[in-house]
Amino acid sequence: MKVWVNALGYQLVWFAAVWGAATGYWWLAPLALVPFAAWYLSRPDGRADAWLMPVAMLIGVALDSTLAASDLVAYASAVPSPHAAPVWIVAIWAAFALTLRHSFRFLHGRPVLAAALGAIGAPLAYLAAARGWHAVAFPRGTTAAVIALGLGWLIAMPALVTLAQHFERRQTTSSTGSRAHVA
């Protein structure tokens, strides 16, 4: 049940972000992120998520800013700049970080599966944001963007899963004499 609640919470942030970007309400993404993040960060095992979030956001900013700067992906509501990852994308990355120890726990110790899921799943999410919502566009063509996204996520997903495991182990071993509950 906890896995489904986590997945649903992430999807709500994603929908708010994509719909908000498509309609000019880019601020809906950080607004939707606040209760989702507050819930996970306030939990007894939330310290691992708190370490993971900024790292995932930095990886996301690097990946999506590279895509924007190379004109492979153009973002609706491109605040603060059309050549960088917009605020709403960064909020999605922050929310995504909160799935790595919960919904995506089944990827722990499975880097090949994580890479495959990232390489396939992420481009599909961007395609949905482009075709269904018009929150992103592919100025140099869909094929080039999908290949770039797939390659970026082929690397990012297993790296993030490995980091999630690292922060979780670090939290567990640094707890005071007892093992922290990890959900």
Q: For residue range 36-53, list pLDDT tens digits in order.
A: 999 999 999 999 999 999
DSSP 37-92: HHHHHTSTTHHHHHHHHHHHHHHHHHHHHHHHHTTS-EESS--S-TTS--HHHHHH
What's the whole-model pTM score?
0.93
Q: For residue range 71-85, list pLDDT tens digits in order.
A: 999 999 999 999 999
Judge whether 160 lies within some domain. yes
Whether 149 has a pLDDT exceeding 90, the answer reads yes
Judge whether 181 lies within some domain. no
Indicate the number of domains in the chain. 1
Closest to 66 (Cα-Cα) out of 149, 163, 157, 127:
149
Closest to 107 (Cα-Cα) out of 167, 159, 40, 171:
159
- Mean pLDDT for 142-155 is 98
Instruction: Report the percent of the chain where pLDDT is more than 70.
Output: 95
As a whole number of angstroms, the distance between CA 37 and CA 49 comes to 9
Judge whether 167 lies within some domain. yes
For the chain, the average pLDDT equals 95
Q: Show the tokens assigned to 68.
A: 């924007």
Judge whether 183 lies within some domain. no
pLDDT band at 174 (very low <50, low <70, confident <90, very high): confident
Q: For residue range 5-26, list pLDDT tens digits in order.
A: 999 999 999 999 999 999 999 9
pLDDT band at 34 (very low <50, low <70, confident <90, very high): very high
Judge whether 13 lies within some domain. yes
Q: Show the tokens assigned to 53.
A: 């979030």
Q: Show the tokens assigned to 78.
A: 């491109």
**Residue 60 pLDDT:** 98
* φ, ψ (nearest 5 deg) of residue 131: -80, -40
Judge whether 139 lies within some domain. yes
Domain that holds residue 153: 2-174
With tokens 């919470």, the residue in question is 9
Judge whether 33 lies within some domain. yes
Contact 169, 182 (CB under 8 A): no
Whether 137 has a pLDDT exceeding 70, the answer reads yes
